[in-house]
Chain A
Amino acid sequence: MSQHVVPVKTYVAIFLALLCLTALTTGVAFINLGAMNTVVALVIAVTKMLLVILIFMHVKYSSRLTKIVIVAAFFWLGLLLTFTLTDVFTRHWTPSPSGWGPSISAPAPREK
């Protein structure tokens, strides 16, 4: 079978990179960056995910069809998150029509 065999060295390198990123994300949690804390944590998590998907899960060496299916999955996940969150967090932008009862909306941004 002509499947791509990833060298052990690559796996170990990715493993070490994942450990470093874990240490980094934990370390950053102890530094106050305001709203950037969440952004940094998510960027590191996405980086770790890409390393696992591309190398450990061999997607880098997979067929285009497999890649398209995976990209489509994340596109759909993006739709789910974007439209749900934009709905909830923009509800207070416009007043609720009277008589609709109390609305569920995000409180005003926190002060720091």
Chain B
Amino acid sequence: MDLSLSPEHLEIRRLVRGFAEREVKPRAEAIDHDDAFPRDLVAKAAQLGLLGTLVPEVYGGAGLDHLAFAIFVEEVARYSASTAGILDVHGSVGTEPIILFGNEEQKRRWLPDLARGQKLAAFALTEPEAGSDAANLKTTATRSDGAYVLDGSKIFITNAGEAQLYVVMATMRPGSGAEGITTFLVGGDNPGLKVGPKLKKMGLNGSAIAEVHLDHCRVDEKDRLGEEGEGFRIAMRALDSGRIGISAQAVGLAQGALDDAVAYAKERKQFGKPIAELQTIQNKIADMTVQVRAARWMTWKAAARCDAGQPFTTDASMAKLFATDAAMAITLDALQVFGGYGYLEDYPMARRVRDAKACQIYEGTNQVQRVVIARELVRS
């Protein structure tokens, strides 16, 4: 066991921390307030090579591992969880299915553009009637003259409208559950793909989340990812490592909230002394610190196991469940340390609470994580 970060990982953290402090931090409040997609930050992250973190070097990416990816997402999320979410979805569930399941031609066609940030990716699994029960999705794929025609609607699609690539899951055998599902790579310029209006949300403002409608959307056979019927497996595998990114996002949110709470507690004076000297505040700070550390270790462990080729599904589920619950609790406690000021949108505390809630819901609600974890426990 060696729980130290390698010089390479330390260097990545230094690089991303610099980017986050210099570029993301000053923009975070406006991104939230204006609810405008931060194309400028995506472009700057692309310049640093951060959009191709997991893409192998031969396809123009940085060829880094999931631990590096987790470090990168955490650092960005300390200041802006929505920006971190945009970059995470692109680099993880948007791009990784091609890295893992794409054929050579598909990799050459998509990965260099995705890695450079010339194209942004989205992952389209969830439907209005198929959330946690994703295997019962209704979007159909029908064969027609050597191509496929997709029909149906997706919802809660991050990067919708901004993305040039949609990884779409559709069923070729409606009613047959997971077995009928197939994955398709659909270009954003496909005339059969239409994006609905941006959904108005509690938080994660700035990130584009919308419905995606597939209306006689014609997809070439060469754009099928993996085999027919392999789509559910591809989606689940993408979500397994996707959860590492969500965990890292939650850790970043929590760490950012803790840092601000600590700084405020040292400055804010009541009863003639800094509130940091009151034990009730100290207890909150101690518990927040322990939770965020534990969450980070779990995230890194899931990442390290994934990178070492070991089974990591349960590790990632536990990390996602723990880190996002911790982020919710910590952002609420950090807001409480700020008192009335925490409730004002002048400070980032309220925004973090709004952002943290999403982490408990997406890429598998925490209830689904518990089902996954319990199933593994009862079976073993």
A and B held together in a complex: no
A-side interface residues toward B, CB under 8 Å?
A: none
B-side interface residues toward A, CB under 8 Å?
A: none
